[in-house]
Amino acid sequence: MTKDYDVIIVGGGPAGIFAALELIQRTGKILIVEKGKSLAERSCPSKQRHIP
- The pLDDT tens digits of the residues spanning 1-52 come to 678 999 999 998 888 989 999 998 888 799 999 887 765 665 555 554 544 4
DSSP string, the chain: -----SEEEE--SHHHHHHHHHHHTTSS-EEEE-SSS-HHHHH-GGGSTT--
Range of the domain at 21: 7-47
Q: Residue 4's beta-bridge partner residues?
A: none
* Residue 52 forms part of a structural domain: no
Query: Number of structural domains, the chain?
Result: 1
Nearest in space to 19 (alpha carbons), one of 7, 6, 28? 7
* Residue 17 forms part of a structural domain: yes
* Amino acid sitting at position 2: T
Rounded to two decimals, the pTM is 0.64
* Residue 16 forms part of a structural domain: yes
Query: How much is the pLDDT for 52?
Result: 46
In this structure, are residues 5 and 31 in contact, taking their beta carbons and an 8 Å threshold?
Answer: yes
